[in-house]
Amino acid sequence: MGIRDTMRSLFAVEQLNTPRPTRIQTRQVTEGSLEDFAIRVLGNRGTKLYRKPSIRETLQVPAVLNAVTKIASITGSLSMEVLRDGQRVDRPTVISRPNPLTTPRDFFRDVAYSMAVYGESWLWIAKREPRPSNLALALVPANPREIRVDVESGRKVIRWGDQEMDPDDMIQITYLRAPGTLRGVGPLQLCGAAVSVAVEAQDWAANFYAEGGQSSVIIKHAAELDPAIGDDGLSEADRLRSQWVDRPNNVPRIIDQNIESVDYQVPNEAGSQMLQSRMYQNGEVANMFGIPGALLEYNAPGSSLTYKSIPDLVRQFVDLCLSPNYLEPIEQTLTDLLPRQQVARFVTEGLLRADVKTQYEVAALGLEKGVLDRAEARAIVGLEPTIEVEPVPFAPPRAVPSMRSADEPLRCTACGRSRMIVYAGGTLRCVSCKTERAVS
């Protein structure tokens, strides 16, 4: 054996056998480089053999679902105000009720969900004010999987399904995006290996218990079995194994006199449930999304514990994850739709409110020093009504993106309802059953 063969045997790594189709990811290597020389000598061990799970499989991991739910639900629970020169002004329709067909909570929750899961969110400006203002009146969230973005003849082309959309009416909010690229990416797209580990550990534990929760069985035959393949395509060992495993679990089995022994391997319950791996994946998911580990029930073993109250954890979550990655991009996007000198901002005071004792101490100190007046001090302790307790306003009829009229209601031919949205190119989509048809 030569030096080259020796080095190959030393550094060889057995490939993982998996019944699922494997997505092989490779990269280009410059010919003549040091990396090319190492690959030619040792073989290409840089090939990634992990399977890239789908979004649906990823959301079946409890830690991922918990993180996405917290981000989407908390964003949807926040109210949005409009400021001009630091003073609160009346909110226009596009802020008070962005999508006339749903509540503000559903709208902001869906936007944050798309950003957390797909790394981007798409909004369609369904209605505008009459010219010359031409300001946005209604926003409809689009599923990022239905959006295709291409560059044709130096022009950016956006298609929603099979309809080409006006780029001025399509708004993209990204979690992260490399300069020069057209689509946004998020934690689930960038951390593919960590996501794959979490999904596979979850599936491994589920499959173990789906088969009855039994470990391996060793059957020792008294005589030597013939390795020759019979007419049925099985050897004697294969035929013996098939007779043993073709019955359901936990049922009696008949053993003939040629079986010398049957040994069951004692299952390791902690290992079978992948407890350590799944606890580790909680920390990985918290790292991916920037969420404090305590909010995902993750405790790093052996680390020093710093006990924090719920308000402290929520503030850390808002400051490090929610505000920079989700709230700020949404605020700036909606601000661009407002007249100049007006700013849209989420109201996070209620979310970041301290404990009751601290609230009253701060309010009393501010009132004593003259920094706060009576109304501002009462607002700190939650005694003054704020925008968070205001009722959700109705959308004006001019903002509803539909073709309905009093003389001839436009009804869906599938479900019979008359709430249909008009899309570009004269296509209608039913709000209830999602059926599409052309305008007649």
**Residues 334 and 370 placed together within one structural domain of the fold:** no
> Shortest CA distance to 166 belongs to which of 433, 425, 436, 359?
425
Looking at the structure, do residues 337 and 356 belong to the same domain, yes or no? no
Which tens digit of pLDDT belongs to each residue from 88-110?
899 999 999 999 989 999 999 99
Please state the rounded mean pLDDT for residues 406-415: 55
Residues 67, 29, single domain; the answer is: no
| Mean predicted confidence (pLDDT) in 277-305 | 77
The pLDDT value given to residue 410: 54
Give the type of residue at 225: L
**Residue, of 307 and 313, whose pLDDT is higher:** 313
Nearest to 429 by CA among 229, 344, 419: 419
Q: How confident is the model at residue 48 (pLDDT cuts 50, 70, 90)?
A: low
Cα separation, 216 vs 222, whole angstroms? 20
Q: Residue 166: inside a domain, yes or no?
A: yes
Same structural domain, 86 and 167: yes
Cα separation of 284 and 278, whole Å?
10
CB atoms within 10 A of CB 32: 8
pLDDT tens by residue, 358-400 = 878 888 888 888 888 888 888 777 777 777 777 778 778 778 8
Q: Is 259 part of a structural domain of the chain?
A: no
* Residue 134 placed within a domain: yes
Question: Which of 233-247, 262-276, 277-291 has the lowest average pLDDT?
Answer: 262-276
* Radius of gyration, CA atoms only, the chain: 30
Q: How many domains does the chain have?
A: 4
Q: Are residues 356 and 372 in the same domain?
A: yes
**Does a structural domain hold residue 440?**
yes
- Complete edge-to-edge strand list for the sheet that includes strand 155-160: 147-152, 155-160, 163-165
287 and 363 in one domain? no
Greater confidence, 434 or 18? Answer: 434
363/330 same-domain check: no
Residues 284, 180, single domain; the answer is: yes
Asked if residue 227 is part of any domain, the answer here is: no
Range of the domain at 127: 52-209+269-297+307-346
The chain-wide mean pLDDT, for the chain, equals 78
Shared domain check, 431 and 354: no
What pLDDT is recorded for position 369?
Answer: 86
Residues 153 and 66 in one domain: yes
Distances (CA, A) of 231 to 113, 138, 227, 239, 245: 57, 71, 13, 12, 21
**Do residues 376 and 427 both lie within one domain?**
no
CA distance 85 to 307: 40
Report pLDDT for 420. Answer: 52
Is there a single domain that holds both residue 126 and residue 107? yes
> For the whole model, what pTM was predicted?
0.69
Residue 142 lies in a domain: yes
Q: Which residue has the higher pLDDT, 15 or 331?
A: 331
Residue 329 domain flag: yes
Query: What CA–CA distance (Å, rounded) separates 210 from 205?
Result: 9
For residue 239, tell me if it sits in a domain. no
